[in-house]
Amino acid sequence: MNGMKKVFVYDTTLRDGTQCEGVSLSASAKLRLTEKMDIFGIDFIEGGFPGSNPRDMAYFEQVKNLKLKHAKISAFGSTRRAGIRPEDDGQLTLLLEAETPYVTIFGKTWLLHVEKVIKTSAEENLKMIEESIAYLSGKGRKVIYDAEHFFDGWKDNPDYALQTLAAAKRGGAEFVVLCDTNGGTMPSEFVKGVEAAASILGDTPLGLHCHNDCGLGVALSMLGVDCGATMVQGTLNGLGERNGNANLCTIIPNLSLKLGYDLNCAPNIKKLRDLSLFMDEMANLRSDIHQPYVGASSFAHKGGVHADAANKVKRSYEHIDPALVGNKTRVLVSDMSGRASIMMKARELGVDVDSKDPAIKSFLDELKNLEFRGYEYEAADASFELLLSRFLKKNSEHFKVRGYRVIVECDEISKTTKSEATVKLEVDGNIEHTVAETHGPVAALDMALRKALTKRFPQLKNIELTDFKVRIIDSGAGTNAITRVSVETREGNKTWGTVGASDNIIVASWEAIKDAFEFRLAQDDAFFKG
């Protein structure tokens, strides 16, 4: 174990992470993330590129007002331009004006970039690195130097690549960070590069900045730490340009829980999943359920044998206790499930079930039949719970559906559509017959059902449909294919999933929406309180 070795965590989500396709963060979102990461214990937070855009300018102006308890904010930029003095370089001036305690600058390591991209001499590039760091250090800033394309440069001309690191050391860099900017370095050559860099840098701390283009970002970061690096740069959830950056949500538990390195954020690691989900929320992204440690599927068991074994001995199919990172064990029910899986799932949902109840066998048969017909309950716990309650005869029927209808009208001249839904229900012995009109047929059904129920059940006014997914099950059947509709519904901070399946997309949608409302009403029943 490596408990005595301190490793610092440097987050670049607010800059490098926003280069991910489809990701944009407002200044307010960046500030909220900064506070969240500070509470978690991230050591360094790279805020962005001062002067590059109004959003980053606003961030650096406002971050000064945050009362951070631990994290150090760093502004990001590059070395001075060729042929001018550091004090005359406008970009270095902007870094100073950001007034952050740390400044991170990148410089060229690869002669290809020196000669073909910035078009200067090898000697001038070395001066640019050393003089820029010395200038910023002389102005009271602590400088982290990112050796861009280090590994490509080292493979191309190892002597020159190491000279650039020596220049950064002479300039007074607090950390020198080796960047695998193209993300294409293999483990064996990566280790050699890190060892060569360490021999040049001596007592100057070494950091790593890896990209994930070959799927090795996390692995290489950990290799580098084993080779002596004491800073790891990365992003939350691995966000970043192309295939992303090294994922801190994987690196942090690997270093702390698996290898015993000393991380300042280790005492808060139970909040890791919460931090990951918060990142997705700020970026308006759907969470990656398959992400290691923090993904919803990280400790999910589907096969009956696996589920049964995990129930008896947790570590038989779980490499850590999920609670260590704020996650939990989940049982997925499907046509692969056995009696043990059903019992575990029922307990997970807080439902008291007798394993000897003959209804369990009937329920399992029906579950497999439904999955054969296109239903899937892995992301539809609410529909599963309602189905189980019906077989166990423990639910109350809050309403009966007498019928429904949807009419879609298209005006070819104005190119507009409108949908009218009619719903007929029996509620407490009374018939509720309602009509709703809006653009889409699913929204019209939702509105009509809500209108029919809210007079008797006003709590339904607070629920909202937050996601709607359609999946064609047997595409070879063409327009007669079975369609599966999955709906996500939310009330406050509680979310639940329901499912419907049919060769008619309206019928499938209705089933999923109806279950969503029924499940909410069932929350008030004793059966659903666990």
Least confident of 8-22, 73-87, 106-120, 515-529: 515-529
Q: What is the mean pLDDT of residues 189-209?
A: 96
Adjacent-strand bridge partners of 409: 418
Cβ atoms < 10 Å from Cβ of 478: 8
pLDDT at 103 over 80: yes
Find all residues with CB under 8 Å of 427, minimum gap 6, and list them.
Answer: 398, 399, 452, 453, 456
pLDDT at 439 over 90: no
Q: Identify the H or E element spanning 287.
A: none
Where residue 143 falls (left for φ over 0; alpha for ψ -120 to 50; beta otherwise) is beta
CATH number of 400-529: 3.30.160.270
pLDDT at 444 over 60: yes
Cβ atoms < 10 Å from Cβ of 464: 10
Characterize the bridge pairing of strands 142-148 and 175-180: parallel
pLDDT at 390: 80
* First-last CA distance in the chain: 42
Q: Where are the beta strands (DSSP E) in 380-463?
A: 400-411, 416-427, 430-438
Q: What is the mean pLDDT of residues 376-392?
A: 80
Q: What is the mean pLDDT of residues 232-254?
A: 96
C-alpha span between 133 and 231 (Å, rounded):
19
What tokens does 251 get?
Answer: 């690196």
Place of tokens 């790891």: 232
Torsion angle of C-alpha atoms 82, 85, 89, 93, degrees rounded to 10:
140
Nearest Cα neighbor of 37 from 279, 208, 254 is 279
- Side chain identity at 304, as an amino acid letter? G
Q: What is the mean pLDDT of residues 185-211?
A: 96
Q: What is the mean pLDDT of residues 104-133?
A: 94
Torsion angle of C-alpha atoms 18, 23, 275, 70, degrees rounded to 10:
20
Least confident of 13-27, 137-151, 156-170: 13-27
pLDDT at 480 over 80: no
Find all residues with CB under 8 Å of 148, minimum gap 6, and list them.
Answer: 106, 107, 108, 109, 110, 113, 179, 181
The single-letter DSSP state of residue 81 is P
- Give the rounded percent of residues in the chain with a pLDDT score beyond 70: 88
**Do residues 431 and 491 touch, judged by C-beta distance below 8 A?**
no
pLDDT at 436: 94
Which part of the chain has CATH 3.20.20.70? 8-283
What tokens does 3 get?
Answer: 């408990």
C-alpha span between 321 and 160 (Å, rounded):
47
pLDDT at 529: 42
Q: Where are the beta strands (DSSP E) in 308-393?
A: 330-331
Which part of the chain has CATH 3.30.160.270? 400-529
Q: What is the pTM of this model?
A: 0.72
Please report which confidence band the pLDDT of residue 526 belongs to, taking 50, 70 and 90 as the band edges. Answer: very low
The single-letter DSSP state of residue 221 is H
pLDDT at 346 over 70: no
pLDDT at 2: 60
pLDDT at 244 over 60: yes
**Do residues 131 and 80 touch, judged by C-beta distance below 8 A?**
yes
Backbone φ and ψ for 397, nearest 5 degrees, come out as -90, 115
pLDDT at 492: 84
Cβ atoms < 10 Å from Cβ of 456: 15
pLDDT at 413 over 90: no
pLDDT at 355: 63
Backbone φ and ψ for 270, nearest 5 degrees, come out as -65, -15
pLDDT at 82 over 80: yes
C-alpha span between 401 and 381 (Å, rounded):
22
Nearest Cα neighbor of 46 from 284, 209, 227 is 209
Please report which confidence band the pLDDT of residue 237 belongs to, taking 50, 70 and 90 as the band edges. Answer: very high
What tokens does 194 get?
Answer: 């890190």
pLDDT at 172 over 90: yes
pLDDT at 527 over 50: no
Q: What is the mean pLDDT of residues 286-305?
A: 79
C-alpha span between 522 and 222 (Å, rounded):
48
pLDDT at 317 over 90: no
Nearest Cα neighbor of 145 from 162, 116, 167 is 167
What tokens does 239 get?
Answer: 């966000």
Characterize the bridge pairing of strands 300-301 and 464-472: unpaired
C-alpha span between 505 and 468 (Å, rounded):
12
Q: Rg (Cα) of the chain, in Å, rounded?
A: 29
Least confident of 339-348, 470-479, 485-494: 339-348
188 or 53, which is more confident: 188
Please report which confidence band the pLDDT of residue 388 belongs to, taking 50, 70 and 90 as the band edges. Answer: confident
* CATH of range 8-283; options 3.20.20.70, 3.30.70.260, 3.40.50.300, 3.40.50.620: 3.20.20.70
pLDDT at 335: 46
What tokens does 13 get?
Answer: 């989500």
pLDDT digits (tens, 9 = 90+) for 246-261: 999 999 999 999 999 9
Q: What is the mean pLDDT of residues 235-247?
A: 95
Long-range contacts of 27-32 (CB under 8 A, 24+ apart): 27/55, 27/56, 27/58, 27/59, 27/62, 29/282, 29/283, 30/55, 30/59, 31/59, 31/62, 31/63, 31/66, 32/282
The 3-state secondary structure of 40-80, one letter per residue: HCCCEEEEECCCCCHHHHHHHHHHCCCCCCCCEEEEEEECC
What tokens does 336 get?
Answer: 């692969």
**Do residues 128 and 82 touch, judged by C-beta distance below 8 A?**
yes
Q: What is the mean pLDDT of residues 306-325?
A: 68
**Do residues 277 and 270 touch, judged by C-beta distance below 8 A?**
no
